[in-house]
Structure 1
C-alpha cells in the first residue's frame, strides 16, 4: 500500500537519557516492554511483552498474556549502539499489513559521558495513503511517540 506522493511525511521526537549509548540502545530494544504503553496493543489478548529480535531481518512483535504473537514489523537495520531502523507494518486500521512499510529510525548519540540523545523519526507515513495525515497526527500526539518516549525517560529517571 503506497502512494505516488513524493513528499515524505514524518514525525520526529528527541529525548535525552542518563545512560551511555550502549545501555540506551539496550533499553530501547531489549526492554521495550517496560516502557511501551500497554493500551497500544493490537493483539487479541492483553500485552505481555514487546519483542525486537536483535538482528537485521529480525521480527518486531507483541506477545499476549495467552502466548499468542502479533507481528508489528521487522528490523531493517540493527547497528548497535548508534542506530536502529524498524519497519512499522501496522496500518491505519491498527492491523498488521505485510504490504505496508513505514520506518522508525532511532539514533543514539552520546551528548556527554553517561548521557545519550535518542532521536526517533517515524518516516514515510505518506505510504498510508489517504490516512497519512491522520496517522501523522496520532503519532505526533501526546499519546503517540512523545508519550512512549516519556515513559522510557521516566523508566531511567
Structure 2
C-alpha cells in the first residue's frame, strides 16, 4: 500500500462574480501562470485548459509546440473544475492516467461581486517521484498560495482594482 502524501491547498478571494472568476481561471491560464513553470523544450507562450471533460491541459511553446500536463476530469462551470497533473519526478509528462495527481478548483460565491477560489492538489503518491514533486511545488515557489496570488493580481488588473 502506498503511503499518502499530503495535499497542497490554496485559497484566494477575488472581486468578481463566480462566473467571471471561473472564466478568468480556466480560459486565461496563461495570463496568470508564471512562465518559468513549464516543462517544454522552449519558452511557454500560453497555458491551455480545454473547456470540457476529457480536454487537455498543456503548454503551448513560443514555436507552436505543445507539451501535455494533464487532462480535465470534471468541467462544471461556474462551480468546479477537476484536472490531472501528470508530471512525474523527472518533470516530464507521464501518459499513464494511473500516475496522476488531481487538482480540484472550487468557486464559492461570497457576494454579488466576490468569489472565493479554493484549490486542492492531491494524490501525489500516484506520481512517479511524487514526494519530490510535492516538495518542489510546496517549497520551491510557494505552491498554490503563490499561484493564486498571481491569479488574484491578474483578476485585479482585469477589473482595474489594486491588488495588495
Partner of 2:83: 86
Aligned length: 153
Return 7-16 or 86-95, whichever deviates more: 7-16
For residues 108 and 95 of structure 1, what CA distance do their matches in structure 2 show?
29
- Asked if 1:102 is matched to 2:101, the reply is yes
- Asked if 1:62 is matched to 2:75, the reply is no
Partner of 1:126: 125
- What are the within-5 Å matches in structure 2 for residues 5-154 of structure 1? 5=2, 7=4, 9-99=6-96, 100-128=99-127, 131-141=129-139, 143=141, 144-154=143-153
Q: TM-score, normalised by structure 2?
A: 0.88
Paired residue secondary structure (1:5): coil
Deviation at 1:16, TM superposition (A): 0.7
Deviation at 1:134, TM superposition (A): 3.0
For residues 82 and 20 of structure 2, what CA distance do their matches in structure 1 show?
17
Root-mean-square deviation over aligned CA pairs: 1.4
Contact 2:9–2:145 (CA under 8 A) maintained in structure 1:
no
Deviation at 1:7, TM superposition (A): 3.0
For residues 84 and 75 of structure 2, what CA distance do their matches in structure 1 show?
12
Contact 2:24–2:155 (CA under 8 A) maintained in structure 1:
no
Q: TM-score, normalised by structure 1?
A: 0.91
Partner of 2:161: none
Deviation at 1:142, TM superposition (A): 6.4
Can you list the C-alpha shifts for 1:12-70, whole angstroms capped at 9, x where unaligned?
Answer: 11111111110011011100000001001111111001111110000111110000000
For structure 1, the residue ranges without an aligned partner over 5 or more in a row are: none
Deviation at 1:123, TM superposition (A): 0.7
Moved over 4 A (4+): none
